[in-house]
Amino acid sequence: MLILILFFFLSRLDYRSQAFFIPAIIWTFCVVVLAAHIWLIIRRIKEKRTQNKVRFRDSSLINFIVPLIVLDVQVIGFLTILLCSFVPQWYVQLCIVLLALLILGLLIGLLTQWLNWKRFLIWCGCLALTIGGLYGSHLYVRHIEDITLPESFDYKTYMPFTVGSLVKSLDEPATLHFEDFDTVPHMDGATALYPVYAAFAQATYPDSMNEMTSGSILAKVTCSTTSSAYVYIVDGACDIIFVGGPSEEQEKYAAERGVELVYTPIGKEAFVFFVNPDNPIEELTLQEIRAIYSGETTRWDQLGVSGLGSILAFQREKGSGSQTALERFVMKDTPLAPAVKENVIGGMGGIVEKVSSYKNHKNAIGYSFRFYCTALMKNFDVKLLSVNGITPTTENIENGTYPLASYFYAVTRSDADENTLALVEWICGPQGQALVEKCGYTPVGAGE
């Protein structure tokens, strides 16, 4: 009966939708079955009170009880599948199945008079163990979610003109130096590239910024995300952004507003895939990666790895730099399978955290950019995979053998001012490219 009542309330989720007919039928069905149970149990109680103990095999109600038990099995089975679909953890699903079996056993015991006090006490003990297991599973899931992780990448540790900053500096004075704080280009860009363009600012922006607050510095050297940075450059909220290539939506956004963007390559970086360190796999081909993210390959044993079960393929949010790289450089014309909502990670650091050993996701796979997950997220233990047999090393990025190496850009508007154009020219010169290399990325001309 509890399951039927739960089913009744679950059906209410569709109450305000246009498809009212289906939930109305479900409600009616639940009410009828629930009423049948109540009527039959009341009938049994009355029989016992009048000492007219009717055994199941002799009861004239047998033709009514058997179909009712069949309905119980169908309804409880359906609801068990429904509830299990809401939780990914196998141990929670197991507790739900055991709870469903106990409830089904209780209903059959009540309807057939098989349940006596001794058997009911045993049933109560099993119920207590199952509920305890379910509650323990809940606590474990909460524990996994609440684990204190090592400190993730904080872009402010690379903020220019601040004491103790990790930002890289030139070994000589910059050939370009702005004197007026109010006219310096407003920078923004991807989180993974903040160490690079913070170094550009440190080298070329006014020395007076050493005396400014962090808020004033961030007003000129902002760090948002790739998707936000593209909006800001199109809307004129900043002068130059440092990002990977645009998504189709970002190109469309600029075109709709009549803004022409100029893409100047300033460095190369590897797009990498990684797994939990406990995963024995060492490499994947591009075809295998496409099969995973298209939904064709769903289990690790399809790739020769046993004991890890289904593949937990994390993704980034639409419009992020790494998601665009996945769609354009890896998937290409292959449709990307929609990710389960909880597997879509908002921040670039979040996807590294999820795959790392701290989250116990031994069956996970994720992606990011090489420098970000190896240097900026070095507290998280993940294993980079070779792609087509090529490891994502600096040497292989420079010589072009790693198949997923791509440019990142300084993006400006076609109507950029003189200071912005001067900054782009300097970045493409020897000193700018030296800073790109110092920051851990590959300069544009390396290996050529």
Give the pLDDT mean for 154-162.
85
Average pLDDT, the chain: 77
Q: How confident is the model at residue 111 (pLDDT cuts 50, 70, 90)?
A: low
Q: What is the number of alpha carbons within 13 Å of residue 328 lying toward its C-beta?
A: 18
Q: What percentage of the chain carries pLDDT values higher than 70?
A: 70
Give the pLDDT mean for 74-89.
72
Q: What is the rounded distance in angstroms from the CA atom of residue 74 to the CA atom of residue 80?
A: 10
Only one residue has tokens 């020897």, namely 430
Q: Which residues of 258-283 are buried (b: 16+ CB within 10 A; e: fewer)?
A: eeebbebebbbbbbbbbbbeebebee
CATH numeric code, 270-405: 3.40.190.10
What's the confidence (pLDDT) of residue 225?
81
pLDDT above 60 (res 316): yes
Only one residue has tokens 């493409």, namely 428
What's the confidence (pLDDT) of residue 339?
62
Report which of 136, 125, 145 is spatially closest to residue 94, judged by C-alpha positions: 136
Q: How confident is the model at residue 345 (pLDDT cuts 50, 70, 90)?
A: very low
Q: Which residues of 94-110 are buried (b: 16+ CB within 10 A; e: fewer)?
A: ebbbbbbebbbbbbbeb
Q: What is the rounded distance in angstroms from the CA atom of residue 18 to the CA atom of residue 11?
A: 14
Q: What is the rounded distance in angstroms from the CA atom of residue 230 to the CA atom of residue 190?
A: 10
Report which of 269, 270, 223, 231 is spatially closest to residue 251, judged by C-alpha positions: 231
What's the confidence (pLDDT) of residue 354?
46
**283 and 302 in contact (C-beta within 8 Å)?**
no
Q: How confident is the model at residue 342 (pLDDT cuts 50, 70, 90)?
A: very low
Domain segments of the chain as ranges: 2-145, 155-268+415-438, 270-405
Give the pLDDT mean for 101-108.
78
**273 and 313 in contact (C-beta within 8 Å)?**
no
- Quickly count: other Cβ atoms within 10 Å of residue 243's Cβ: 25
Give the pLDDT mean for 320-324.
74
pLDDT above 80 (res 79): no
Looking at 25-34, 106-115, 221-230, 436-445, which range is the least confident one? Answer: 25-34
Phi and psi at residue 334, to the nearest 5°: -80, 125
Looking at 84-93, 125-134, 336-345, 392-401, which range is the least confident one? Answer: 336-345
Contacts with 3 (C-beta within 8 Å, 6 or more apart), sequence order: 75, 76, 79, 100, 103
Looking at 133-147, 201-215, 223-237, 261-275, which range is the least confident one? Answer: 133-147
Give bridge partners of residue 115 from the DSSP assignment: none
**411 and 263 in contact (C-beta within 8 Å)?**
yes
* Residue 288 tokens, joined: 């295998």
CATH numeric code, 155-268+415-438: 3.40.190
pLDDT above 70 (res 369): yes
